[in-house]
Amino acid sequence: MHFSTRSARLGVAAAALTGLLALSACGDDGAASSTDKIGVSLITKDSSNPFFVAMQKGAKEEATKNNVDLTVASGKADGDEQGQVQAIENAIAQGQKGILITPNGPGVNSAIKKARDAGLYVIALDTPPDPADTVDITFATDNFEAGKLIGQWTGKQLAGKPATIALLDLFNDKVVSVDYNRDQGFLTGLGVDTKDAKKNGDEAKTGTYGGGSYTIVCNEPTQGAEDGGRSAMENCLTKNSNINVVYTINEPAAVGAYNALKAAGKTSGVLVVSVDGGCAGVKSVKDGVIGATSQQYPLKMAALGVESIAKIARGGEKPKTTDGLDFYDTGVALVTDKTIAGVTSIDTAKGGTLCWG
């Protein structure tokens, strides 16, 4: 059959348009449909700390809402980098779309790069890696601000009295941002001049804070655990039995520190402060074990992470960092029943409605 040149051109154009429409309907980026299961791994530091248990709960609830096939993994303990590396390798092998991880240290960075190179979207939760662009984005508490709040509260509580300080950190054998941000934020809030904001323990051991003189007795690691907090506090007390300010990396460490103080008959007049805001921690504030704690929101971090990866996998927009920060700020609030003028806080009744664990 004979076709005119014009008819032939129209036929080619129509065929091309049909092809374009078909591509548009399918999506030219290989995006999953709303009915497709999206594979995501949540890799926490450990599976026993109430903070990470709450994070797992939040992720599971959001996974159900977003048709996500969630794999939950963790290191054996806080600091176990190799266990996290294996979980990342498993996520890559399974062809998952993304990973949510609370990094146990810089030893996981190369595995994260491998995952991103394989096309997985990687979100850090709670602990921004160093450097921050190791992951696609971080959803976290502003840990420096969390430390600063408890430091400001402590300084106002001291009201000019000398501060004899124990700093109970996370590690002494590796550097992670959550560790130095909380420690350095606390000292900054207290009014102590810090040298390198990314390094614990390099500030002058004696000097003046916002209202009086200070002495830093110790920087001891706790591994973020109750038994670690107790042994760290015991070590500090052997150096100076007159400690009256105890900064702790988290609430399990704070409880351990308090138990060491109690055993030594040294709880009177000692200010113990911390970061977490779990239900057990809020109760510790109510009971007077902890004077003040900065509350963070792990369920929110995990839920936002799962939702974001599911959205990206289905062709949606990627999340953006909070203005002025290199991460997405999930919020923080100071919880105390001893309010201080000029330091914004909520009481334990309110903290109890927002707590987790």
Would you give the DSSP letter of residue 67? T
Same domain, 205 and 255: yes
Same domain, 303 and 291: no
CA nearest neighbour of 276 among 48, 51, 44, 45? 51
Tell me if 129 is assigned to some domain: yes
The predicted structure's pLDDT at residue 30: 65
For residues 42, 71, 50 and 52, what is the CA-based torsion angle, rounded to 10 degrees?
-10
Mean pLDDT, the chain cut into blocks of 10 residues (357 residues total):
37 37 40 86 94 95 97 95 98 98 96 98 94 96 97 97 98 93 98 95 97 96 97 98 98 98 97 97 98 97 98 96 95 97 97 95
Same domain, 170 and 72: no
Instruction: Tell me the C-alpha to C-alpha distance, in Å, between residue 217 and each of 56, 124, 201, 228, 235.
Output: 37, 33, 10, 17, 10
Same domain, 207 and 272: yes
Classify burial at 16, counting beta carbons within 10 Å of its beta carbon; exposed 0-12, middle 13-18, buried 19 or more.
exposed
Tell me if 23 is assigned to some domain: no
Residue 42 CA, chain-centre distance (Å), reads: 13
Tell me if 183 is assigned to some domain: yes
Q: What's the CA gap between 207 and 213, in Å, rounded?
A: 6
Q: Which domain holds residue 52?
A: 38-141+299-319
Same domain, 164 and 262: yes
The predicted structure's pLDDT at residue 14: 39
Q: What's the CA gap between 331 and 210, in Å, rounded?
A: 26
Same domain, 338 and 197: yes
Tell me if 6 is assigned to some domain: no
Same domain, 113 and 160: no
User: What global pTM score does this model have?
Assistant: 0.84
Domain of 122, CATH number, reads: 3.40.50.2300
Same domain, 96 and 165: no
Same domain, 105 and 159: no
Do 108 and 81 touch, CB atoms closer than 8 A? Answer: yes
**Total of domains in the chain:** 2
Same domain, 204 and 349: yes
The predicted structure's pLDDT at residue 357: 84
